[in-house]
Amino acid sequence: MPLILKKALTLILPVCLFLSSCNWFKTTPEVGVILSEHFKNKIYKDFDTAAYNVVFNRHLDSLQSKLSNPKVIGNFYADKDRRNLLVTRFYINGELDTLKNYLENSNIHGYNPEVFRYKELEKTLSALSANQFKSVSEAYPVLADLELYAASALLKYDTFVGYGSVNPKKVLNRYYVTTTRPDSAAMNKVLETKSLTKLLKDIQPASENYKVLQHTLAVLKKDPSRNAVAIKAVEVNMERARWKIPGLSSEYVEVNIPDFSLTWFKEQDTVTHMKVCVGARREKAYEEKLKTYAKTHSLDDKPKNHQTPVLLSKFSAIEVNPVWNIPVSIAKNEIYNQARRDPYYLSNNNMKVYYKGKLVNDTDTIQWEKYSRDHLPFQFKQGSGSGNALGKFKFMFDNGASIYLHDTNNKSAFGLASRAISHGCVRVEKPLEFAQKMVNGNAEYDQLRMEVNLPPVDTTKMGIYRKKLAKKADTLNVFQLKPKWFGTRKNISVFINYKTAWAENGRVEYRNDVYGLDDALYAAMKKYL
């Protein structure tokens, strides 16, 4: 290397090091550039990312108890490039103010704005907008708080308004429906949004039912002391309307337990509507009695709980002239006592008894006093026929609670105002009409009709019908009525639901909280209202 070039490098290198140490070549991060241009304030050009990160980490630690989903937020901001993401994207264009406005008006959903720490967000927004910092280091705490409070509020608002404030499985008795709740991936997507305004708009529940409940809540809250009961009903049913329920097909049957009714929907149009009977409410002081039973293990102390569960499934089959496999609980608590009082009760009610899987031929001779009710070694089945408790039709769908819809031989029950009277399954007022809509076409419907001694709609099949009747009436050959199975049309959901307030023709219908589920739900969400 020539001597002159060596001398030149010797002079230039110290100069470059000096300039670097004086930050002459330093690049201002995006947040500093944006705020500098917005406020026409050069202090933001001195924004030092390393110094800011120290402050951000300190505030992230100190705010853990105030942040919603602190673990998700901590993981999200572990990426240092994100630590001014919301401020950079949404402060200058006014969308953080839009977020603040949505939080302020969250009472339209029944929520208290302070659930989302509205005041903290408003305070930090105002502090930044005041632009009273003498140096950029004074702005660091405000920027860190604004980013964290905005992220926390946004996640909580998205969850509470878009999915509901309560996970129903955690607070409701016999609630077997899976509801969608946001996971960390969904929350990260929320924080990464490119349009805060669009996100907030899309979060709002859009159903007509929800909108009517919202409007009604606003009217009721003009006189809260007078309307306290109605306000509670509307608020808990708005919460139910926020739950996202996957798996509900476009054609579905909804049983509303408090209304004792069934409605068949197809693309939101009503196909049919009828009365139902549902499970009886569990005993009073159920929890206390359950503790006693846990100690004594005596059936006399076991409290009854026949409440129909909330569940979602799809219809799979219709059993015509069904056999009733009597549940163990009913056998021990009811059948056993009836058989002891009346030795002919079982035979008179077409009930068969099985001992270790084998049929007992003469049930009238069983000496019931020899057997303990707590350890009853028998199984019971009621045969097909007019006296069967399930009637002529049983509508099947998969579920873990052994629940189904069925006909009944006790039609008078549909005349009752309160129809919470069954052991848990749902009795249908018009089973034949229900079956007609369920089967695959008219030919199958005619087969179903003939199985229950009804003439076919298609008169060309009358010959087949007469032969069936003659076979059943043949006294020389004993006819034994047996169940017959029919497939159902595919993809028809059954949703056994629980609603005590809902929109109908632009106004709210109210029903009694027959199982006390409103009380349980309200207790869980009250702290957010």
Do residues 387 and 239 touch, judged by C-beta distance below 8 A? no
For residue 96, the tally of other CB atoms under 10 A from its CB is 26
DSSP state of 434: H
Do residues 299 and 374 touch, judged by C-beta distance below 8 A? yes
The pairing of beta strand 420-422 with beta strand 269-279: parallel
| Alpha-carbon span 480 to 107, nearest angstrom | 64
Report residue 292: phi and psi, to 5°. -65, -45
| Alpha-carbon span 319 to 483, nearest angstrom | 6
Radius of gyration in angstroms for the set of CA atoms belonging to the chain, rounded to a whole number: 34
Do residues 317 and 393 touch, judged by C-beta distance below 8 A? no
Q: Which residues contact 16 (CB under 8 A, 6 or more apart)?
A: none
CA-to-CA dists, residue 464 to 219, 427, 439, 448, 459, angstroms: 63, 31, 20, 13, 10
| End-to-end Cα spacing for the chain | 79
Counted residue by residue, the chain has a size of: 529
| Alpha-carbon span 151 to 60, nearest angstrom | 12
Residues carrying an active site annotation: 406, 425
Report residue 144: phi and psi, to 5°. -65, -45
Residue 41 falls in which region: left (phi positive, over 0), alpha (psi -120 to 50) or beta = beta
Q: Where are the alpha helices (DSSP H) in 131-207?
A: 136-162, 168-171, 184-191, 196-203
| Alpha-carbon span 368 to 373, nearest angstrom | 9
